[in-house]
Amino acid sequence: MKTGFVAILGRPNVGKSTLLNAIMDYKVSITSDKPQTTRDQIRGIYNDKDSQIIFIDTPGIHKPKQKLGESLNEASYKALEDVDVVLFLQPADEKIGPGDKMILEKINKQKNKVAILTKVDLEDDFELLKEKAEILKNEYGFEVVLGTSVEIQRTVDQVIKELKERLPEGHKFYDTDQLTDKSLRFIAKEIIRESAINMLRDELPHSIGVEIMEFKEREEQYDISARIYCERESQKGIIVGAQGSKIKRIGISARKKMAYTFDQKIHLDLKVKVNKNWTEDVQKIKKMGY
Protein backbone atom coordinates (compact mmCIF):
# COMPACT_ATOMS: atom_id res chain seq x y z
CA MET A 1 0.00 0.00 0.00
CA LYS A 2 1.24 3.49 -0.89
CA THR A 3 1.07 5.91 2.04
CA GLY A 4 2.58 9.31 2.76
CA PHE A 5 2.29 13.03 3.26
CA VAL A 6 1.84 15.64 0.51
CA ALA A 7 2.20 19.39 1.09
CA ILE A 8 0.19 21.70 -1.18
CA LEU A 9 2.08 24.97 -1.68
CA GLY A 10 1.61 28.15 -3.71
CA ARG A 11 0.97 31.85 -3.52
CA PRO A 12 -2.25 33.07 -1.91
CA ASN A 13 -5.41 32.41 -3.91
CA VAL A 14 -4.01 29.97 -6.48
CA GLY A 15 -6.56 27.23 -5.77
CA LYS A 16 -4.88 25.05 -3.12
CA SER A 17 -8.01 24.59 -0.99
CA THR A 18 -10.17 24.09 -4.10
CA LEU A 19 -7.86 21.29 -5.22
CA LEU A 20 -7.91 19.62 -1.80
CA ASN A 21 -11.72 19.76 -1.57
CA ALA A 22 -12.00 18.29 -5.08
CA ILE A 23 -9.66 15.42 -4.20
CA MET A 24 -11.50 14.73 -0.95
CA ASP A 25 -15.00 15.35 -2.38
CA TYR A 26 -15.67 16.94 1.03
CA LYS A 27 -15.32 20.42 2.51
CA VAL A 28 -12.02 19.99 4.34
CA SER A 29 -10.69 23.50 3.67
CA ILE A 30 -12.55 26.77 3.18
CA THR A 31 -12.37 28.64 -0.12
CA SER A 32 -12.70 32.23 -1.27
CA ASP A 33 -11.33 34.36 -4.09
CA LYS A 34 -9.66 36.47 -1.39
CA PRO A 35 -5.95 35.80 -0.71
CA GLN A 36 -4.84 34.25 2.61
CA THR A 37 -8.19 32.60 3.29
CA THR A 38 -6.50 29.48 4.70
CA ARG A 39 -4.78 30.20 8.03
CA ASP A 40 -3.88 26.72 9.25
CA GLN A 41 -2.31 23.52 8.05
CA ILE A 42 -5.40 21.56 7.04
CA ARG A 43 -4.97 17.81 6.64
CA GLY A 44 -7.21 15.95 4.24
CA ILE A 45 -6.96 12.16 4.39
CA TYR A 46 -7.53 10.48 1.02
CA ASN A 47 -8.18 6.72 0.96
CA ASP A 48 -8.67 4.21 -1.82
CA LYS A 49 -8.09 0.46 -2.10
CA ASP A 50 -4.32 0.70 -2.47
CA SER A 51 -3.28 4.02 -0.88
CA GLN A 52 -3.69 6.54 1.92
CA ILE A 53 -2.49 10.05 1.08
CA ILE A 54 -2.44 12.75 3.75
CA PHE A 55 -2.69 16.16 2.08
CA ILE A 56 -1.56 19.26 3.96
CA ASP A 57 -3.25 22.42 2.67
CA THR A 58 -1.17 25.44 3.67
CA PRO A 59 -1.72 29.20 3.95
CA GLY A 60 -0.58 31.02 0.81
CA ILE A 61 3.04 32.14 1.09
CA HIS A 62 3.41 35.90 0.67
CA LYS A 63 5.45 38.91 1.80
CA PRO A 64 3.89 39.56 5.23
CA LYS A 65 2.61 43.01 6.22
CA GLN A 66 1.66 42.10 9.80
CA LYS A 67 2.36 39.54 12.53
CA LEU A 68 -0.54 37.40 11.35
CA GLY A 69 1.06 37.17 7.89
CA GLU A 70 4.37 36.08 9.42
CA SER A 71 2.55 33.37 11.36
CA LEU A 72 0.84 32.12 8.17
CA ASN A 73 4.17 31.87 6.32
CA GLU A 74 5.70 29.94 9.22
CA ALA A 75 2.82 27.46 9.07
CA SER A 76 3.40 26.92 5.34
CA TYR A 77 7.15 26.34 5.68
CA LYS A 78 6.56 24.00 8.62
CA ALA A 79 4.44 21.83 6.32
CA LEU A 80 7.60 20.99 4.35
CA GLU A 81 9.06 19.10 7.29
CA ASP A 82 9.04 15.35 6.64
CA VAL A 83 6.63 15.37 3.69
CA ASP A 84 7.08 12.82 0.93
CA VAL A 85 5.91 14.94 -2.00
CA VAL A 86 5.36 18.66 -2.64
CA LEU A 87 2.53 19.84 -4.89
CA PHE A 88 3.30 23.35 -6.18
CA LEU A 89 0.42 25.32 -7.73
CA GLN A 90 0.86 28.23 -10.13
CA PRO A 91 -1.79 29.93 -12.30
CA ALA A 92 -1.34 29.06 -15.98
CA ASP A 93 -2.39 32.54 -17.11
CA GLU A 94 0.19 34.35 -14.95
CA LYS A 95 3.97 34.67 -15.18
CA ILE A 96 6.24 32.99 -12.65
CA GLY A 97 6.67 36.03 -10.44
CA PRO A 98 8.73 36.97 -7.35
CA GLY A 99 6.22 35.30 -5.01
CA ASP A 100 6.43 32.03 -6.95
CA LYS A 101 10.23 32.18 -7.06
CA MET A 102 10.41 32.71 -3.29
CA ILE A 103 8.50 29.44 -2.80
CA LEU A 104 10.44 27.60 -5.51
CA GLU A 105 13.70 28.47 -3.78
CA LYS A 106 12.34 27.08 -0.50
CA ILE A 107 11.43 23.74 -2.09
CA ASN A 108 14.51 23.54 -4.30
CA LYS A 109 16.02 20.64 -2.34
CA GLN A 110 12.82 18.60 -2.26
CA LYS A 111 13.33 15.44 -4.31
CA ASN A 112 9.71 14.61 -5.10
CA LYS A 113 7.92 17.60 -6.61
CA VAL A 114 4.88 17.87 -8.85
CA ALA A 115 3.86 21.20 -10.39
CA ILE A 116 0.27 21.99 -11.28
CA LEU A 117 -0.63 24.83 -13.63
CA THR A 118 -4.13 25.87 -12.60
CA LYS A 119 -6.88 27.20 -14.87
CA VAL A 120 -5.13 26.15 -18.09
CA ASP A 121 -8.40 26.75 -19.94
CA LEU A 122 -7.94 30.50 -19.34
CA GLU A 123 -4.64 30.54 -21.26
CA ASP A 124 -5.05 30.16 -25.05
CA ASP A 125 -1.33 30.27 -25.90
CA PHE A 126 -0.27 26.60 -25.94
CA GLU A 127 3.36 27.47 -26.67
CA LEU A 128 3.45 29.70 -23.58
CA LEU A 129 2.12 26.85 -21.44
CA LYS A 130 4.69 24.49 -22.91
CA GLU A 131 7.47 27.01 -22.25
CA LYS A 132 6.38 27.47 -18.63
CA ALA A 133 6.30 23.70 -18.10
CA GLU A 134 9.84 23.41 -19.47
CA ILE A 135 11.06 26.18 -17.12
CA LEU A 136 9.57 24.38 -14.12
CA LYS A 137 11.21 21.12 -15.18
CA ASN A 138 14.63 22.39 -16.26
CA GLU A 139 15.21 25.29 -13.86
CA TYR A 140 13.35 24.11 -10.77
CA GLY A 141 13.66 20.33 -10.93
CA PHE A 142 10.03 19.23 -11.33
CA GLU A 143 9.66 15.74 -12.74
CA VAL A 144 6.15 16.34 -14.00
CA VAL A 145 3.92 19.35 -14.70
CA LEU A 146 0.16 18.83 -14.75
CA GLY A 147 -2.64 21.19 -15.73
CA THR A 148 -6.08 21.75 -14.23
CA SER A 149 -9.10 23.52 -15.65
CA VAL A 150 -12.00 25.24 -13.93
CA GLU A 151 -13.57 21.76 -13.95
CA ILE A 152 -10.84 20.60 -11.56
CA GLN A 153 -12.39 17.20 -10.89
CA ARG A 154 -11.28 16.08 -14.36
CA THR A 155 -7.63 16.06 -13.31
CA VAL A 156 -7.97 14.65 -9.79
CA ASP A 157 -7.35 11.08 -11.01
CA GLN A 158 -4.18 12.18 -12.79
CA VAL A 159 -2.90 13.97 -9.68
CA ILE A 160 -3.53 10.87 -7.53
CA LYS A 161 -1.78 8.65 -10.10
CA GLU A 162 1.36 10.83 -10.13
CA LEU A 163 1.46 10.99 -6.34
CA LYS A 164 1.15 7.22 -5.93
CA GLU A 165 4.19 6.75 -8.16
CA ARG A 166 6.23 8.90 -5.75
CA LEU A 167 4.97 7.72 -2.38
CA PRO A 168 6.62 4.95 -0.35
CA GLU A 169 5.08 1.63 0.63
CA GLY A 170 3.77 1.65 4.18
CA HIS A 171 0.90 1.23 6.63
CA LYS A 172 -2.08 3.54 7.11
CA PHE A 173 -1.68 6.44 9.53
CA TYR A 174 -5.43 7.00 10.02
CA ASP A 175 -8.63 4.97 9.97
CA THR A 176 -10.13 4.58 6.50
CA ASP A 177 -13.31 6.50 7.37
CA GLN A 178 -11.42 9.54 8.73
CA LEU A 179 -11.41 12.45 6.25
CA THR A 180 -9.44 15.06 8.22
CA ASP A 181 -7.47 15.42 11.45
CA LYS A 182 -9.41 18.59 12.28
CA SER A 183 -12.29 18.57 14.77
CA LEU A 184 -15.91 19.47 13.99
CA ARG A 185 -15.37 22.54 16.17
CA PHE A 186 -12.47 23.67 13.97
CA ILE A 187 -14.40 23.05 10.74
CA ALA A 188 -17.36 25.03 12.11
CA LYS A 189 -15.05 27.95 12.94
CA GLU A 190 -13.60 27.94 9.43
CA ILE A 191 -17.01 27.72 7.74
CA ILE A 192 -18.18 30.78 9.69
CA ARG A 193 -15.03 32.66 8.67
CA GLU A 194 -15.50 31.63 5.03
CA SER A 195 -19.09 32.90 5.06
CA ALA A 196 -18.00 36.20 6.59
CA ILE A 197 -15.15 36.69 4.10
CA ASN A 198 -17.36 35.94 1.10
CA MET A 199 -20.15 38.19 2.41
CA LEU A 200 -17.90 41.15 3.23
CA ARG A 201 -15.75 40.86 0.09
CA ASP A 202 -13.03 43.57 0.07
CA GLU A 203 -14.17 45.38 3.21
CA LEU A 204 -12.09 43.62 5.89
CA PRO A 205 -11.32 39.92 5.29
CA HIS A 206 -7.91 39.85 7.01
CA SER A 207 -9.19 41.56 10.17
CA ILE A 208 -11.70 38.78 10.84
CA GLY A 209 -11.12 36.03 13.38
CA VAL A 210 -13.61 33.47 14.69
CA GLU A 211 -13.79 31.67 18.03
CA ILE A 212 -16.22 28.89 18.88
CA MET A 213 -17.54 29.57 22.37
CA GLU A 214 -19.78 26.51 22.63
CA PHE A 215 -20.32 23.37 20.54
CA LYS A 216 -22.96 20.99 21.87
CA GLU A 217 -23.84 17.76 20.08
CA ARG A 218 -27.46 16.75 20.56
CA GLU A 219 -29.40 14.04 18.79
CA GLU A 220 -29.69 15.15 15.14
CA GLN A 221 -28.62 18.73 15.98
CA TYR A 222 -25.49 20.74 16.81
CA ASP A 223 -25.87 23.86 18.97
CA ILE A 224 -23.05 26.27 18.13
CA SER A 225 -22.24 29.63 19.69
CA ALA A 226 -19.47 31.69 18.07
CA ARG A 227 -17.85 35.12 18.10
CA ILE A 228 -16.61 36.96 15.04
CA TYR A 229 -13.73 39.24 16.01
CA CYS A 230 -12.66 42.44 14.28
CA GLU A 231 -10.15 45.15 15.24
CA ARG A 232 -12.19 48.36 15.40
CA GLU A 233 -15.72 49.55 16.23
CA SER A 234 -16.12 50.82 12.66
CA GLN A 235 -15.43 47.28 11.39
CA LYS A 236 -18.00 45.87 13.80
CA GLY A 237 -20.64 48.07 12.17
CA ILE A 238 -19.70 46.74 8.74
CA ILE A 239 -20.01 43.11 9.89
CA VAL A 240 -23.32 43.65 11.69
CA GLY A 241 -24.81 45.75 8.86
CA ALA A 242 -27.93 47.90 8.88
CA GLN A 243 -30.34 46.52 11.49
CA GLY A 244 -28.24 43.36 11.70
CA SER A 245 -28.71 42.48 8.03
CA LYS A 246 -25.10 41.41 7.29
CA ILE A 247 -24.55 39.24 10.36
CA LYS A 248 -27.90 37.58 9.69
CA ARG A 249 -26.85 36.70 6.12
CA ILE A 250 -23.48 35.44 7.35
CA GLY A 251 -25.29 33.22 9.85
CA ILE A 252 -27.70 31.83 7.25
CA SER A 253 -24.83 31.02 4.86
CA ALA A 254 -22.70 29.37 7.57
CA ARG A 255 -25.63 27.36 8.91
CA LYS A 256 -26.48 25.96 5.46
CA LYS A 257 -22.85 24.96 4.80
CA MET A 258 -22.50 23.31 8.20
CA ALA A 259 -25.79 21.43 7.82
CA TYR A 260 -24.56 20.05 4.49
CA THR A 261 -21.03 19.27 5.73
CA PHE A 262 -22.04 17.71 9.05
CA ASP A 263 -25.33 16.21 7.83
CA GLN A 264 -27.03 17.58 10.95
CA LYS A 265 -29.47 20.31 11.87
CA ILE A 266 -27.59 23.40 13.06
CA HIS A 267 -28.57 25.99 15.64
CA LEU A 268 -26.08 28.86 15.30
CA ASP A 269 -25.73 31.89 17.55
CA LEU A 270 -23.32 34.55 16.21
CA LYS A 271 -22.01 37.65 17.96
CA VAL A 272 -19.48 40.27 16.86
CA LYS A 273 -16.80 41.56 19.23
CA VAL A 274 -13.93 44.07 18.87
CA ASN A 275 -10.48 42.64 19.69
CA LYS A 276 -8.26 45.66 19.13
CA ASN A 277 -5.27 45.13 16.78
CA TRP A 278 -5.36 41.36 17.24
CA THR A 279 -3.58 40.72 13.91
CA GLU A 280 -0.47 42.50 15.28
CA ASP A 281 -0.40 40.78 18.68
CA VAL A 282 1.38 37.41 18.76
CA GLN A 283 -0.40 36.28 21.93
CA LYS A 284 -3.83 37.20 20.55
CA ILE A 285 -3.02 35.43 17.27
CA LYS A 286 -2.13 32.25 19.18
CA LYS A 287 -5.25 32.52 21.32
CA MET A 288 -7.33 32.70 18.13
CA GLY A 289 -5.63 29.49 17.02
CA TYR A 290 -3.61 30.84 14.08
Side chain identity at 1, as an amino acid letter? M
Q: Residues with Cβ < 8 Å from 285, sequence gap 6 or more?
A: 67, 68, 71, 278, 279
Residue 121 annotated as part of some ligand binding site: yes
> CA-CA distance, 118 to 233, in Å (whole number)?
39
> CA-CA distance, 173 to 163, in Å (whole number)?
17
Residue 181 annotated as part of some ligand binding site: no
Residue 11 annotated as part of some ligand binding site: yes
Residue 232 annotated as part of some ligand binding site: no
Q: Residues with Cβ < 8 Å from 118, sequence gap 6 or more?
A: 14, 15, 19, 89, 90, 91, 92, 147, 148
Residue 168 annotated as part of some ligand binding site: no
Residue 193 annotated as part of some ligand binding site: no
> CA-CA distance, 22 to 3, in Å (whole number)?
19
Residue 14 annotated as part of some ligand binding site: yes
226 contacts 195 by C-beta, under 8 angstroms: no
Residue 289 annotated as part of some ligand binding site: no
Q: Outline where 176-224 has alpha helix (H).
A: 184-200
Q: What angle do CA 55, 60, 62 make, to 5 degrees?
A: 150
Residue 61 annotated as part of some ligand binding site: yes
> CA-CA distance, 190 to 178, in Å (whole number)?
19
Residue 124 annotated as part of some ligand binding site: no
Q: Residues with Cβ < 8 Å from 113, sequence gap 6 or more?
A: 85, 86, 88, 107, 140, 141, 142, 143
Residue 10 annotated as part of some ligand binding site: yes
- Strand pairing partners for 146? 116
Residue 183 annotated as part of some ligand binding site: no
Residue 286 annotated as part of some ligand binding site: no
Residue 272 annotated as part of some ligand binding site: no
> CA-CA distance, 236 to 247, in Å (whole number)?
10
Residue 112 annotated as part of some ligand binding site: no
Binding site for GTP, by residue number, is 10-17, 57-61, 118-121
Binding site, by residue number, is 10-17, 57-61, 118-121
